[in-house]
Structure 1
């Protein structure tokens, strides 16, 4: 494997939200996965987190959540491409099979939006692109090691009408411009810009965002 290309983030490029007023005890990040559904190359699926959430209340996000142990064993119509699997193994110790992250993203999409990714045989994982990985900084009280996937909704969904759930409210499709105008977490805004690059035809390696030695760092993962 090639070593990832490293970049120091400038003050204008900070991609994590600011620390809370009080410095919390450092906690271990939990594995998480997110699915960014794109329709017609110009709309993305997003929902608003409820006011009652301790983590990012009221913010607009892509559907996603924590990886469960059973995700690694869930059925799939097709598996990840070798390239995607290799990229998911980069960035240090990986605690789960790569397919677990992709299947968690599709499961969370169903639970939060009512949209079924795939058919009776399960999702087609080879149609999911790995677009980013981000670890919440140690100064945040809740931390996640999140993988972001991208999929063409017209290739993976049978229905395009989402439903609101307990975790995501007002779930609907937004144009890319309208999505950027929403109240987004910093990391979501950053990943949305990465999605724009891909939809514009640019070949970009997945960024790996984390907080090291007191500063933000971005690596471009290369298999």
Structure 2
């Protein structure tokens, strides 16, 4: 198994390469991604998609569904309160002014982006408490509520300087068994991903993964083995650049 030191060295190598490109330092935006885990067939599998090579960010890489937080996510976040353990994970080491509403917006963003990129509705079978914006029309039409409380935060990472896009990303996990309509094949409903499919834990080396994706997957697989992956009370890794080098903290 890859050690923490090896994971950090891989991240540091990528950081140096990005910085050497001399790209304009982009603003850091809040983002969220969802790791859907299927444990039904022996080795765990993860739902991932291939980003097209024309994209500026993560081009040609296999990624989890996700993206930046939008206004519609913040709008819905005003009506919910996440569980205390989840809030503890999402509000550790944040800037002044980051609230529980900002934390909830991250969960909504992960669910919305998952629907937009895979067609899957991560939802509860009950109507939402308030009117829903157009971006969540598919949920409202079916009388569903985005299942924000089912998401468990397991990692956080800030894109290093030098990248054309920079995000402060929270990685959530959810069991595939909790999602209605899980299938073996997917037709991407947008042009974000060239293809979508299940990637086995035993076949990760056959796919082009960014170092941070591989690093977070390593953390998730460690928690799958010890049975803590659905426990939001467990502190999660926070990957960021400190004093010019990648660090792993716990939040």
TM-score by length of 1: 0.86
Which residue of structure 2 lines up, in the alignment, with residue 3 of structure 1? Answer: none
Which residue of structure 2 lines up, in the alignment, with residue 13 of structure 1? Answer: 9
SS of residue paired to 1:37: strand
SS of residue paired to 1:147: strand
TM-score by length of 2: 0.77
Measure how far apart 1:80 and its partner are: 2.5
Higher helix share: 2
Out of 97, 102, 109, the position equivalent to 1:104 is 109
Aligned-CA RMSD value:
2.4
Q: Number of residue pairs matched?
A: 213
* Distance of 1:210 and 1:63 partners within structure 2: 21
Which residue of structure 1 lines up, in the alignment, with residue 238 of structure 2? Answer: 208
The change in CA–CA distance for 1:200 and 1:74 in structure 2 (over 3 A counts) is same
Measure how far apart 1:72 and its partner are: 2.1
- 1:67-146 residue pairs with structure 2 within 5 A? 67-74=69-76, 79-93=81-95, 94=98, 97-119=102-124, 120-146=143-169
Segments of 5+ residues of structure 2 without an aligned counterpart are 125-142, 229-233
Which residue of structure 2 lines up, in the alignment, with residue 158 of structure 1? Answer: 180
Runs (4+) off by over 4 Å: 8-12, 75-79
Which residue of structure 2 lines up, in the alignment, with residue 30 of structure 1? Answer: 29
Segments of 5+ residues of structure 1 without an aligned counterpart are 1-7
* Distance of 2:65 and 2:78 partners within structure 1: 19
The change in CA–CA distance for 1:109 and 1:36 in structure 2 (over 3 A counts) is same
1:158-203 C-alpha deviation (Å, 9 max, x unpaired) = 1113322310122011211223431001110001111101111254
The change in CA–CA distance for 1:49 and 1:9 in structure 2 (over 3 A counts) is same
Q: Which has the higher contact order (CA 8 A, sep 6+)?
A: 1
Which residue of structure 2 lines up, in the alignment, with residue 49 of structure 1? Answer: 51
Structure with larger Rg = 2
